[in-house]
Chain A
């Protein structure tokens, strides 16, 4: 890595210093993965649904410009104000301008990974706007000054005692609280006052329907609705890939989304916003921010099918034991590792290597994205572009020399076997970067060439 920030192995190593916490993190996410399996198995047509969802999204990617124009026309006739943002900066400026136009300096926001991707909170913070995240998990990480570590479970890395301490410091609640029911109740009371007083609410978008110009927002907490229905101005931000063609396609996606995410049959609330309520203004921002470039990458465009369920994270053996923050990107885990290099290959060159390529992510993906194959393809692109880490490139160069020369290969092999037999501690230690990521094998007594020569002579 050429960048100065810590990369995935370094950040994962930090996360692994607290072994008890890593075990807890690992087991909790695996438990959610098991709930997903149980929910999926209740539907005999599960695989057919995944296939249909994948094909609907493929149709969208092939006709995205037409669907966007259709959606825009219908949304406009529904009374929604539609904005287009080429990148994160333009998105943030549009939101800021809406706030200025309404003479508002405070806003409530429900979960939107797009605004994390655009670093909206930081931008608005610099301009004196107070943004309150209202999803309980997002509120907790916001108070802690951290980004979410999981797209569905933002504070999955936090223990309840730590959350009690965060509330004590920032909300003035008594010290030493750790009962989840009580902590959630305190947050409810605190946020309720904000819902009742804020005039602008921003939400994300799960699905936008080209045919009708409506958009759907899914939550369990009801925070998107509390914000939007009490505010004078509702701003909805969406990536351009969130379009689906027809209302009836929601049946496919809503059946898959929450069963894949948490094992629930559906979220508590699946809200369909079609028109602003009387007296309300509704803005919708369509954001590109690299998506149209990604769409042109033949090997990687399928990743734009993602519906942000988080199933690939919950199943990933690397994510579960390295934590979401080790991916240093708004969207972590396997899907984040194939989306992030599109935005900034240099900064995220380490992420496609944060995988065992076991393929579990591809097996659980509700829209059948070939995640592990894309991770493998990104490794090739990154290495060709010269963005792989110096140690990785150097060792690959050495390997290339050894494998292309018969004598070096033979001689090096015998030295290596003897070396590992005589001085195992010099190989299997923490100073060897290869060992840090893998178990070293027991060296064989002889090479295959030696074995073959011996056994052919003495059959």
Chain B
């Protein structure tokens, strides 16, 4: 156990596992801060994983794949946003519908593009990029500074989200629209526009999180590869009390347990305990996190409350 925690490969794995979660959690957080629960997240991650991979498979550069994934996510976000913001439909039902639609679309398109493949074709994924000097540091260097560029981007993205949310007028408006949309409308800012924009950007980030799986973590697209990560991210937003910094900590904690369970399986403990129990840990942990945090968390006041101009 101690040897595991002291190895550089463990911490490198933690950052790697946390990266897609950080992207998608930031996406979900932006949506929820603006007052929209986006349960389309799981399907949007599947679309991101598929579209990003497909774009690179068809010849785009890796960053091009990331951009295509973002655009696809934003497009689905626009659909979700139109249904739940101006039309005010049930965010639960629309979100689940979007997840089913997006997942089915990705699978349909994959089967259409590659009808008879038994082994999924591979692409050349992002390679680790060692940060000069820093990566030479003992232990920490190889753990933190020998990651793929998309991992650094995940952390940068979290920083950017925190900065925009707390240090810019746009962020102030975004937070206000999730708390008191009428007050934002009174300032002459369009609630509908802000929420639609937030859902589009948020969904784009979710899709980038999905694309991390195919462009950085693995090199192929598999069915079921997202495997509940989207739902975990919804839990992480609650765990992080709707704050980017705490949500990143939550993602790291979650990734830590995930990396640990894989390694514990190879120890004497793993020989006795069934491996399924280890695989359950992340999900159980998410539920526990929800239980612990939901009592103290400050939920955005207008979360899941549709806004109609002139109504009270």
Q: Do A and B come from one complex?
A: no
Binding site for A on B (CB under 8 A): none
